[in-house]
Amino acid sequence: MQEYTLRVCVENSGKRLDVVLTDATKEKKLGISRTFIQDLIRKGKVMVNGVKINKPHYKLKSDDEVKLIIEEKKGLSLESEDIPLEVIYEDEDLAIINKPAGMVVHPAPGNYTHTLVNALLYHFKELSDINPTRPGIVHRLDKDTSGLLVIAKNNFTHLNLAQQFSRHQVKRKYLALVKGRVEFDEQTVEIPIGRHPYRRKSMSAGFGRKMKFAKTYYRTLKRSRDFSLLELEPFTGRTHQIRVHLSALGYPILGDTKYSKQTKFSRLALHAKSIGFIHPRTKKFMEFTSKIPSEFKEFLKEKIT
């Protein structure tokens, strides 16, 4: 358990309790979100002048003494595993991993081992624990999608990167092999995406009431009579967004058994090619690129000239 005490200055008089605590913890780089602070307040973990306050909107006065109590997080007992990882880049705050196709990113019911998280726990001494069941994981890729992921080593980095993702400031590019000769050299797709009405584990594209805005840009790199190679940039992050958009356009990704029935390939032909973001600590823009998978190269040499 950790306790933090602060004295309210004149500038913060009249401000909300949750706002002042969020600003204070941000200055100390504790890696705590405002939502987490509000939850602590409601649980009675914050005292003002020795009295428990359970209202996040409580207005503070100059010279008030605020005490914050943070208990240690209790997460699942996750097992570390000596699984090989391709580390593209690493520093004290983050790492860039090139995830292979077929690897699940984080443990889930019925699948608690052999995931990327199990490998991360073995290879790295420190990982963010914003979500104790997914240490280090800021964003994810589908099991069968290969490519680059950014891993957070501490909560300060995690929250900063998560904010960049939520504001669509992270630049991501994917490569996809699709069925069919794509008509346009480039196109921006804006078709809403939501949960499939009958297949609850699948998504669908359409303009129903519960659908959410989704935007994907693609550029055609190569094409043959029956297949095309695309470079894609998702501006939003809906579940299965690229797969659903391409299927809706009539160009399903090869190997996608969920959104197409006739796209035979050794794996899902989707690869997270590059990722770019502002480093949380240095404030410098960084961008990383991975090599095209060997399966893609072989297919291109044989099918697309």
CA distance 115 to 174: 22
Helix ranges restricted to H, 95-253: 116-123, 155-166, 241-249
How far are the Cα atoms of 24, 104, 143, 156 from residue 94, in angstroms, in the given order? 24, 20, 22, 10
Helix (H/G/I), strand (E/B), else coil: 39: helix
3-state secondary structure 69-130: EECCCCCCCCCCCCCCCCEEEECCCEEEEEECCCCCCCCECCECCCCHHHHHHHHCCCCCCC
Q: In whole angstroms, what is the distance from residue 217 CA to residue 230 CA?
A: 10
Instruction: Read off the tokens for 50.
Output: 């020795």
Count of other CB atoms within 10 angstroms of residue 85: 19
The answer to whether 142 is a known catalytic residue is yes
Report the C-alpha gap between 149 and 260 in whole angstroms: 26
Question: CA 86, 91, 93, 95: dihedral to nearest 10 degrees?
Answer: -10
Q: Which H helix or E strand runs over 59?
A: none
Q: What does DSSP say about strands 146-152 and 270-278: parallel, antiparallel, or unpaired?
A: parallel
Write down the catalytic residue from 18, 64, 129, 142: 142
Residue 144 CA to residue 256 CA, distance in Å, equals 9
User: Which residues are catalytic, by number?
Assistant: 142
